[in-house]
Amino acid sequence: MGTFLQFVVLGLGLGSIYIGLGTGLLLVHRATGIINFAQGAMAMWGAYVFAQLRVDGTLVFPIGSIEFARRPPIEVAALIGILTAFVLGLVVHYLVFRPVRHAPVLAQVVVSVAVMITIQALVVLRFGPNNIDVASILPEGSISVLGTDLPTREIIMAAIMVVLAAAVWAYLRFTRAGVATRAASENERAAVLMGFSPDRLAAVAQVVAVVLGTISVMLGSSLTGLNPDNYTLLVVPALAVLLVARMESIAVVVVAALLLGAFQSVIGLLVTKSWWPVWAQSGLDQVIPFAVVMVILFVQGKRLPSRGSLQTIRLPDVSIPKLKPVPAVILLVLGVAALSFTQGTWRFGVTTSIIVMLLALSYVVLTGYLGQISLAQGAFAGAAGFALSKMTSAWGVPFPLSLILSALVATALGMLVALPAFRIRGAQLAIITIAAALAIERFVFNNYTLSPPEGNPIADATLFGLNLGVREGRDLARISFSVMVLVIAAILVWVFIRVASGDTGRTFLAVRANERAAASSGIDVRKTKLIGFAISAFIAGIAGCLIGFSRGQLSAESFTVFAGLQVLAVAYLGGITSVGGAIVAGVLGPLGIVYTLLRGVFDLGEYYALISGLGLIITAILNPVGIAGATREQVAWVRRRLSRSGPPPSTVPDAPAPKEPSRV
Amino acid sequence: MSDKGLHTKGLTVRYGGLVANDSVTIDVDPGTVVGLIGPNGAGKTTFVDAVTGFTASAGEILLDGTRIDALPPHERRTAGLSRTWQSGELFGNLSVAENLLVAARAGGWRTLVRDIFVPRRKVSDDVVSRALEVVGLADVADTLARDLTLGQQKLVGVARALAGGAEVLLLDEPAAGLDSMESRAFAARVRSIADSGPGILLIDHDMSLVLGVCDVVTVLEFGKQIFTGTPAEARTDPTVVAAYLGAPVEASHA
Amino acid sequence: MPETPEPLLETVDLAAGYNGVPAIRGLSMSVGPGEVVALLGPNGAGKTTSLLAMVGLVPLLGGEVRVLGAPLGRRRPHQVARSGVLLVPDDRGIFYGLTVREHLRLAARRADPERERQVLDRFPVLRNLDSRRAGLMSGGEQQMLAIAKALLAGPKVLIIDEMSLGLAPKIVQEMLPAIRDLAKEDGIGLVLVEQHIELALSIADRGVILNHGRVVLTGAAGDLLRDRHLVEAAYFGAEQFADTEGTLAG
Ligand SMILES: Nc1ncnc2c1ncn2[C@@H]1O[C@H](COP(=O)(O)OP(=O)(O)OP(=O)(O)O)[C@@H](O)[C@H]1O
Ligand SMILES: Nc1ncnc2c1ncn2[C@@H]1O[C@H](COP(=O)(O)OP(=O)(O)OP(=O)(O)O)[C@@H](O)[C@H]1O
Ligand SMILES: [Mg+2]
Ligand SMILES: [Mg+2]
């Protein structure tokens, strides 16, 4: 009992960080409608600055640094850390989020993913990839309760964060600016008409959120030390906390954060016991909270959105594709040419691009057409990949069958994930799926009893005696393998276009636009979602299998949540609503053509992550509706210009409405 | 009264402590236009929501003699009960024609297979053009729904409700935002739709429209039916005037 | 116009529209303290566009808007609102996620119970809905909230688009005179867009009728009420007026 209580209290340290991040997430979401995936990363920077000052008296900037003769006292260092956070919040708001403030919310979410990648890369470059120790601002000590010595540091930490969260609550609740903050994210035009500047309100929210997060990480990291990966991904449990609070209640954020911290700490204690089953040692601290959150949301959710609920995610427009033989043939010929004129790493890059294109296409189906944001696509791909490994190595299932069966495994998983989507929508669904992905990653892919650490081998494919394996001798990417990938991709794209341009595609778009109206037009919304998830997961599953074939074996690292987020980001920036966008995404995507080019031509080495993060940010600011969409708009504009003969029409111009945000 | 058409018996809706519909009994027979009027917040939209399955209710709802109160919304629609929304609720990012096609062709697993292997060419587009002609909007078929003016959006809503074929139409303030000329034209359209078969329930605050076109008028106040009768009776009925009209309405206005 | 003091809001030869194509042209009108102007016209005439242009939500393509004597210039919409020109847009401009109480708090820069009582007296229904989320309210209740909220902010100029949209006849009959009285008492300049021509003209001082983006008829409200056939003609065929702006003798 005594140890149990001790672990509960120890967990309050982690809980304090969740309060800081969770409250910040809530504030930013309230002010802008964005889920800021970079919350953890942004909070980490100021804490790193603080820690480094205490380690060797160096004040580190993103570029350059100042060395103090003596280490500054801890209060000064802490103040500098908080000041850094303040500046970081301002800079990120004005340079990054503000330029995309009129873009669809998903664009802003993608930008936040890019900021996360950038800051994490910057931390690795400036502070190193290893754990560093952090000085403790609070005194160590203990009090004795019921005969157990409990650490006071964690308790004080939690108290500080509770007070800060309460201050934020009071701001939102009692000040006019606070109420306006909530109003502005819902209906920007209406807020403007009342004399508020939504932009300024958003800036305040962003800065307060970063400062709050930084304080919590500065306090909390003194327990564990700082490490670029952990603190970046702490945003996921903080998001789960946000969900329990229905993205509204700070009081619930605080309680849920502390409970989650305590729970994870206690689980850490329990798994070390001898009676604990071995297969359940990893990932439970993620899986159980996820399951709890999902059940809560599902029970509270409604079959159809209730009257006056906000349209959750605004997405770029879709132009319905047509199957045109000439461009199709040109594309195929280009693909074959690209594959036959390259070899080795280059051909491998092209092949990977085709596979990433398929992953992006799965997002086009699910997010672009059906309007459901799922961050579990990586997990779908992973599930198919691992199934493939079992089928080819353990059971000897022959090639085309093994591919299809494995993709069907992913399809089944996809339809399972569709179940929460029946009642959970928009941003909440996005968070649920990323939590699901993280849980699957930790509990299944990282679980040595299910997935051996030495990897999951995948046997080469052969068809009618033709060897479709990826490697032979020193050839890294055999042409027959690459052509197989191209053929499979072409078939899937063809199927996609038929579905998207048919009745099914239109049904998807109707559900995306307005579930209530869709139901009143005779559409079975649930079945439609099930179909969308099934198609999307099938495509992702095929992509996962192809990744498996191309590597010869799979490990947990092949399908991390982080990689999944990166693919979503490029899929969005390529153009989340079209095949063209998926192709652009494939070219830009991780390990694809552009990557190979950057690697091969310029030796960027350790700067690759930083450059890809910055590249994503800049692309998003320049093309808030995606590259393919922007190109289409430009082409349409040029056409209009060319076809416009005589005076312009005086009424009803055919151009789309201005992108003023509003409900509908 | 025939079995055909829409009939509710004792329809009751509660939102927490608020009784938004209190035992409402309404008959919409084929070919008739029934007006539903009442003060703001009386429960008119709630009635439509309940009948079409968008809010939970107690009591009986019969369509062509069959109970439909247990069906989910989309099945009530396919059974022939069609509605419009007070706030438009079009699919803003689809063209007007596509808005109507959504209603005319439902999806499903079988549709998916057909889409892949034997895609339908644009055959039944006459469904669309016919519905658009009924509301007089044939020229905006290819415009994005969100680029229409308020009045046009309402009319497209009516066309969408017609597109899949309907036994009974429930129209929630379809003429709000129409100018008086357009509103008069709309009255003629409502009449001709009803003459072609379907029963219509019409909610609107434009009295020249409602009292001009309806066969029967029902008045709700605080969720209760306080009056049912002909428009002529409604014009001068003291309870209706006190609760809703304010002043007796002459036969034509604005 | 006779005895009109310095106008609060004035447009001079205004043109505005979307994507560089004007939807209204040559609009000149003004509203002074305590004055009520009804802006009328058939669907698609350009009424909403005119109002949006007055507060800077639609880019000007020509002409000028003068607010309290100074040109609108590069002022941004929220600054226009702060200077006392409030627009109630046709989508009502309310926040589905906020309660009635929160709307009222947002509206008033400083809490003023006296004024709040005055305004709520005009819309007693809202009193019972204090903690209801706006998204759950009925269409008419939302409209009342939108107007109450704007009145509470203490505007100098109040512009209401589709003022009676979704309101029950009785409410409209009571509200229009009430709003006019409020405008007269507080010296608010009021611009109304309405589909009920007669009701609007019965409380307005002046009427401006738009068609196809141009002013086709202006005049004192009383005169317009008397000469209904001219108003009808303005609604029907704009062409006959399109070049020479018809004006009724005052
Ligand atoms: N989900 C809900 N929870 C609580 N109250 C609700 C809910 N939905 C509606 N109401 C209330 O129920 C009452 C009836 O609303 P309804 O929309 O049916 O009115 P209506 O007759 O259509 O009015 P209007 O003419 O203004 O559109 C209103 O007072 C409204 O605020
Ligand atoms: N966002 C937009 N993009 C392009 N054109 C528009 C847009 N909004 C309005 N228009 C066009 O501008 C013209 C004037 O529209 P406006 O909304 O000002 O008319 P209105 O007089 O308010 O009509 P209503 O009475 O139907 O509200 C119309 O022809 C309309 O089609
Ligand atoms: Mg209603
Ligand atoms: Mg308008």
- CATH number of the domain bearing residue B92: 3.40.50.300
Of A499, A507, A522, the CB nearest to B77: A522
Average pLDDT over residues A621-635: 78
Per-residue confidence (pLDDT) for residue A657, from 0 to 100 = 33
- The C-alpha of C62 sits at a distance from chain A's nearest C-alpha, in angstroms, of 15
Q: How far is the CA of B161 from the centre of ligand 1 (A)?
A: 22
**Domain membership flag for residue C145:** yes
Are residues A521 and B160, on separate chains, in Cβ contact within 8 Å? yes
What are the chain B neighbours of C175 within 8 Å (beta carbons)? Answer: none
Residues 625-654 of A with CB under 8 A from B: 652, 654
**What architecture is the A2-128+153-273 domain classified under in CATH?**
Orthogonal Bundle (1.10)
Report the nearest atom of ligand 1 relative to the CA of B47: 18
Report the nearest atom of ligand 2 relative to the CA of A655: 4
Ligand 1 pocket member B223 (CB < 6 A): no
Per-residue confidence (pLDDT) for residue C1, from 0 to 100 = 46
C195 and C121 share one domain: no
**Domain membership flag for residue B1:** no
Q: Best interface-test mutation with C: which of A173, A194, A197 has the largest number of C CBs within 10 A? A: A194
Per-residue confidence (pLDDT) for residue A203, from 0 to 100 = 93
Q: Best substitution site from B40, B170, B171 to test ligand 1's pocket, by max atoms within 8 Å of Cβ? A: B40
Are residues A509 and B89, on separate chains, in Cβ contact within 8 Å? no
The pLDDT tens digits for B35-52 are 999 999 999 999 999 999
Q: Does B48 touch chain C (CB under 8 A)?
A: no
3-state secondary structure of C133: strand
Nearest CA to ligand 2 atom 5: A652
Tell the burial category of A553 from Cβ atoms under 10 Å away from its Cβ (0-12, 13-18, 19+): middle
Range of the domain at C226: 9-84+155-244
Q: Pick A144 or B227 by higher pLDDT.
A: B227
Domain layout of chain A by residue ranges: 2-128+153-273, 325-640
Structure letter (DSSP) for residue A472: B
Banded model confidence at residue A1, pLDDT cuts 50, 70, 90: low
Ligand 1 pocket member B208 (CB < 6 A): no
3-state secondary structure of A141: coil
CA–CA dist C39, C218 (Å, integer): 9
In our burial notation (b when 16+ CB lie closer than 10 A, e otherwise), range C14-45 reads bbbbbeeebbbbbbebbbbbbbbbbbbbbbbb
| DSSP letters spanning A483-495 | HHHHHHHHHHHHH
**Domain membership flag for residue C237:** yes
Of C43, C136, C139, the CB nearest to B178: C43
Domains identified in chain C, total number: 2
Per-residue confidence (pLDDT) for residue B61, from 0 to 100 = 96
Range of the domain at B114: 6-253
Q: How far is the CA of B44 from the centre of ligand 3 (A)?
A: 5
Per-residue confidence (pLDDT) for residue C36, from 0 to 100 = 95
Average pLDDT over residues A377-381: 88
Domains identified in chain B, total number: 1
Are residues C97 and A663, on separate chains, in Cβ contact within 8 Å? no
Nearest CA to ligand 1 atom 31: C137
The pLDDT tens digits for A33-52 are 888 989 999 999 999 999 99
What are the chain A neighbours of B106 within 8 Å (beta carbons)? Answer: 503, 507, 522-524
Tell the burial category of A636 from Cβ atoms under 10 Å away from its Cβ (0-12, 13-18, 19+): middle
Q: List strand residue ranges (DSSP E) for chain B, in order.
A: 6-15, 18-24, 27-28, 33-37, 58-63, 66-67, 81-83, 168-172, 199-203, 216-221, 224-229
CA–CA dist A371, A577 (Å, integer): 10
- The C-alpha of C196 sits at a distance from chain B's nearest C-alpha, in angstroms, of 6
Q: Best substitution site from C99, C125, C128, C141 to test ligand 1's pocket, by max atoms within 8 Å of Cβ? A: C141
C167 pLDDT above the threshold of 80: yes
Task: Tell me the CATH class for A325-640.
Answer: mainly alpha
Banded model confidence at residue B122, pLDDT cuts 50, 70, 90: low
Which strands form B216-221's sheet, in the order they lie side by side? B81-83, B168-172, B199-203, B33-37, B216-221, B224-229
C65 and C164 share one domain: yes
Per-residue confidence (pLDDT) for residue C243, from 0 to 100 = 39
To the nearest whole percent, how much of chain A has pLDDT over 90?
A: 30
Banded model confidence at residue A628, pLDDT cuts 50, 70, 90: confident
- Of the listed ligands, the closest to the CA of C139 is 1
C241 pLDDT above the threshold of 70: no
- Of the listed ligands, the closest to the CA of B152 is 2
Helix axes A176-186, A198-224, angle to 10 degrees: 100
C69 pLDDT above the threshold of 90: no
C61 and C19 share one domain: yes
Q: Pick A641 or A584 by higher pLDDT.
A: A584
- The C-alpha of B89 sits at a distance from chain A's nearest C-alpha, in angstroms, of 6
Tell me the sheet residues that pair with C246.
C217
B253 pLDDT above the threshold of 60: no
Of B49, B88, B120, the CB nearest to A503: B120
Banded model confidence at residue C249, pLDDT cuts 50, 70, 90: very low
Work out the angle at residue A369's Cα, subtended by the Cα atoms of residues A367 and A372, and round it to the nearest 5 degrees: 35
What are the chain C neighbours of B246 within 8 Å (beta carbons)? Answer: 169-170, 173-174
The pLDDT tens digits for A302-315 are 777 776 665 555 67
**Count of residues for chain C?**
250
Are residues A190 and C19, on separate chains, in Cβ contact within 8 Å? no
Q: How far is the CA of B233 from the centre of ligand 3 (A)?
A: 23
A645 pLDDT above the threshold of 50: no
Backbone Cα Rg of chain B: 18
**Domain membership flag for residue B160:** yes
Are residues B254 and C43, on separate chains, in Cβ contact within 8 Å? no
Of C162, C171, C173, the CB nearest to B177: C162
CA–CA dist A76, A93 (Å, integer): 26
Q: Pick A574 or A642 by higher pLDDT.
A: A574
A273 pLDDT above the threshold of 80: no
Banded model confidence at residue C15, pLDDT cuts 50, 70, 90: very high
- The C-alpha of C67 sits at a distance from chain B's nearest C-alpha, in angstroms, of 28
C133 and C226 share one domain: no
To the nearest whole percent, how much of chain A has pLDDT over 70?
A: 91
Q: Pick B170 or A310 by higher pLDDT.
A: B170
- pTM score of the predicted model: 0.86
Per-residue confidence (pLDDT) for residue C146, from 0 to 100 = 93
Per-residue confidence (pLDDT) for residue C236, from 0 to 100 = 77
Q: Best interface-test mutation with A: which of B112, B139, B148, B172 has the largest number of A CBs within 10 A? A: B112
A140 pLDDT above the threshold of 90: no
Of C17, C88, C135, the CB nearest to A307: C135
Question: What average pLDDT is seen over chain C?
Answer: 86
* Residue A306 neighbours by CB distance under 10 Å: 13
Q: Pick A177 or A283 by higher pLDDT.
A: A177
To the nearest whole percent, how much of chain B has pLDDT over 90?
A: 58
Are residues B180 and C197, on separate chains, in Cβ contact within 8 Å? yes
B4 pLDDT above the threshold of 70: yes
C15 and C117 share one domain: no
Q: Best substitution site from B11, B12, B18, B219 to test ligand 1's pocket, by max atoms within 8 Å of Cβ? A: B18
CA–CA dist A159, B222 (Å, integer): 49
Question: What average pLDDT is seen over chain A?
Answer: 84
Within 6 A (CB) of ligand 2 lie A 651-653, 657; B 147, 149-151; C 18, 23, 41, 43-49
Q: Does A656 touch chain B (CB under 8 A)?
A: yes
Neighbours of ion ligand 4 (CB under 5 A): C 48
Whether A2-128+153-273 shares its CATH topology with A325-640 is answered yes
Top mean pLDDT of B135-144, C1-10, C211-220 is at C211-220
C160 and C79 share one domain: yes
Per-residue confidence (pLDDT) for residue B250, from 0 to 100 = 64
Token digits of residue A488: 């499979």
Are residues B149 and C173, on separate chains, in Cβ contact within 8 Å? no
C-alpha B169 chain-centroid distance: 5
Q: How far is the CA of C197 from the centre of ligand 3 (A)?
A: 23
Q: How far is the CA of B170 from the centre of ligand 3 (A)?
A: 12
Of C20, C89, C134, the CB nearest to A193: C89
Banded model confidence at residue B121, pLDDT cuts 50, 70, 90: low
3-state secondary structure of C151: helix
**C36-40 and C206-211 beta bridge pairing:** parallel
**Chain A residues within 8 angstroms (CB to CB) of chain C:** 176, 179-180, 182-183, 186-187, 189-197, 306-310, 648-651, 653, 655, 657-658, 660, 662-663
What are the chain A neighbours of B98 within 8 Å (beta carbons)? Answer: 506, 509
